[in-house]
Amino acid sequence: MTDDGRMRRVPVRLEGGRSYPIDVGPGVLSGLGAVARANLPAEARRVALVSNPRVFDLYGARAIASLRGAGFSVSHWLMSDGERFKTLRTAERCLRFLSESELERADAVAALGGGVVGDLAGFAAALYLRGVAFVQVPTTLLAQIDSSVGGKTGVNTRAGKNLVGAFHQPRAVVVDTETLRTLPARELTAGWCEAIKQGAVGDRRLFERTRKFLEEESRRKVACRIGTGRDGSRADVRGGGRDEGRGEGRDEELAELIAEQCAFKAKIVAGDEREDISRADARSRRVLNFGHTVGHALESLTGYRRFRHGEAVGHGMIAAAEISKRLGLLDGSELESLRGAVRAAGHLPAASDLDAGMVARALRADKKAVGGSVRWVLLERIGRARVVDGREVPARVIRESIRAALGAR
Ligand SMILES: NC(=O)c1ccc[n+]([C@@H]2O[C@H](COP(=O)([O-])OP(=O)(O)OC[C@H]3O[C@@H](n4cnc5c(N)ncnc54)[C@H](O)[C@@H]3O)[C@@H](O)[C@H]2O)c1
Ligand SMILES: [Zn+2]
């Protein structure tokens, strides 16, 4: 990672000498044009910007000004806001926009928004003219540390989420951490849960750093509520409302932490770019699925309405850690440490009314199942995952663990 004043550059190195930069820092959006110029084909003249109305209102003008400043001709198109619009139908509309923009082979698509915009625009970029270059400008925490890095793009179908897609790596990712100031608290909590996951499965130091940052943020908020620490006002980045009292130092710490999270994801992706299904080792891309088996079951049982995806993963990680403990893999103190981190990420919608047996039955529909059995990502300790075949986990252990994690019946 290189550190140039307020900007950090994280390289993503792929096979065959391919690589791309992730630029992270407060205000880096104004450098979008220059980054695009440096990383797109030399003949690139046009950039087709895809966003949604909410994000475009906030950041569209800056993105466009920066791209135009670097000599690109820019057109834009806004998809409707929400997961339910991440469909083939929207992708088709997006393709029509790319065609009407007269985008040529050397030109590029830029995605400005959260994971929904990034997945859809990336998918359209992978399809259009059999693939045009693509730049990601993620504006949610989840997209900044997770979905914008790694080249997975796609849409949902009636049969399930992300069932149709393509691997299409971006040419550059521009992560402006200042955009998080306008992000709703629940979106932050959801993103922090994925951040905790990344540390938990592969990097103990990153886990501790993330946990400390979140605990510090939550202490700061309490201090503000009782009337201390009023030295300026800005959004709380922990996920739980407004805060007063964050300084520039905290902004830098946040940017540093996000850059480390990106570096972690980049490392895993570099080692397993296409998620090889025969791999189940502790460095395989599969381990990023920690917390997702129960998480997906909770999302689908509640009709995708109660939880943000990351919030469901928050509950799911505790369930997987409970299983790990019951199988004798994970120490009780490590489970508590994970619980502490998830608590510090912010409030999760309750799941205690859901029947543990029902959740266990819903697990079987998980699309990450291989040969009909669920692959559990469990923990040996914080920082080390182990993939376990579902047939090796007794049904009773699963039910008890879910019950313990959700406080369920
Ligand atoms: N490709 C991958 O590897 C990968 C990985 C994880 C998740 N995903 C996908 O990502 C999607 C979820 O992404 P998400 O959590 O970013 O949700 P999202 O894109 O729906 O964004 C959440 C909400 O925040 C708003 N928003 C975005 N940036 C904002 C900002 N700076 N200020 C204010 N509001 C803002 C959005 O308009 C939206 O309403 C899912 O579809 C999931 O499947 C993909
Ligand atoms: Zn996830």
281-325: pLDDT as tens digits: 888 889 999 999 999 999 999 999 999 999 999 999 999 999 999
Taking a C-beta distance cutoff of 8 angstroms, is the pair 248, 232 a contact? no
- Which residue do the tokens 């019946």 mark? 409
Q: Is 91 in the pocket of ligand 1 (CB under 6 A)?
A: no
Give the separation between CA 235 and CA 239, rounded to whole angstroms.
9
The CB density around residue 250, as the number of other CB atoms within 10 Å, is: 17
All residue ranges of the chain with pLDDT < 50 are 228-234, 241-245
Sign of the dihedral defined by the CA atoms of residues 247, 225, 185, 350, in that order: positive
Taking a C-beta distance cutoff of 8 angstroms, is the pair 187, 316 a contact? no
DSSP 170: -
Among protein residues, the one with the nearest Cα to ligand 1's atom 41 is 116
Nearest ligand to the C-alpha atom of residue 119: 1
Which of 85, 86, 123, 140, when mutated, tests ligand 1's pocket best, judged by the most ligand atoms within 8 Å of its CB?
A: 140
Among protein residues, the one with the nearest Cα to ligand 1's atom 5 is 147
Centroid of ligand 2 to alpha carbon of 73 (angstroms): 35
Taking a C-beta distance cutoff of 8 angstroms, is the pair 162, 150 a contact? no
Q: Is 54 in the pocket of ligand 1 (CB under 6 A)?
A: yes
Q: Which residues fall within 8 angstroms of residue 288, CB to CB, at 6 or more apart?
A: 197, 198, 201, 265, 268
Instruction: Identify the CATH number of the domain defined by range 185-406.
Output: 1.20.1090.10
Which of 116, 134, 286, when mutated, tests ligand 1's pocket best, judged by the most ligand atoms within 8 Å of its CB?
A: 116
Active-site option among 265, 308, 315, 326: 265
Taking a C-beta distance cutoff of 8 angstroms, is the pair 166, 142 a contact? no
Q: What local confidence, expressed as pLDDT, does residue 356 receive? A: 95
The third-level CATH classification (topology) of the domain covering 2-182 is Rossmann fold (3.40.50)
DSSP 251: H
Establish whether 315 is a catalytic residue. no
SS3 content of the chain, % helix, strand, coil (to 5): 50, 20, 30
Establish whether 68 is a catalytic residue. no
Q: Is 183 in the pocket of ligand 1 (CB under 6 A)?
A: yes
Sign of the dihedral defined by the CA atoms of residues 343, 349, 352, 355, in that order: negative
Residue type at 322 in one-letter notation: E
CA distance to 32, 119, 350, 354, per residue, from 11 (Å): 16, 21, 39, 43
Q: Is 313 in the pocket of ligand 1 (CB under 6 A)?
A: no
Kindly give the number of the ligand 1 atom that is closest to the alpha carbon of 141: 16
The strand ranges marked E within 132-276 are 133-138, 152-157, 160-167, 172-176, 233-235, 242-244
CA distance to 292, 326, 329, 331, 351, per residue, from 380 (Å): 17, 12, 5, 8, 26
Q: What local confidence, expressed as pLDDT, does residue 369 receive? A: 58
Which of 90, 141, 147, when mutated, tests ligand 1's pocket best, judged by the most ligand atoms within 8 Å of its CB?
A: 147
Q: What local confidence, expressed as pLDDT, does residue 370 receive? A: 62
Q: Is 142 in the pocket of ligand 1 (CB under 6 A)?
A: yes
The strand ranges marked E within 144-287 are 152-157, 160-167, 172-176, 233-235, 242-244
Q: What local confidence, expressed as pLDDT, does residue 230 receive? A: 45
Q: Where exactly does CATH 3.40.50.1970 map onto the chain?
A: 2-182
Q: What local confidence, expressed as pLDDT, does residue 90 receive? A: 98
Nearest ligand to the C-alpha atom of residue 292: 2
Q: Where exactly does CATH 1.20.1090.10 map onto the chain?
A: 185-406
Sign of the dihedral defined by the CA atoms of residues 172, 176, 179, 184, in that order: positive
User: pTM for the full model?
Assistant: 0.93
Widest pairwise Cα distance in the chain = 62
Q: What local confidence, expressed as pLDDT, does residue 278 receive? A: 84
Nearest ligand to the C-alpha atom of residue 180: 1
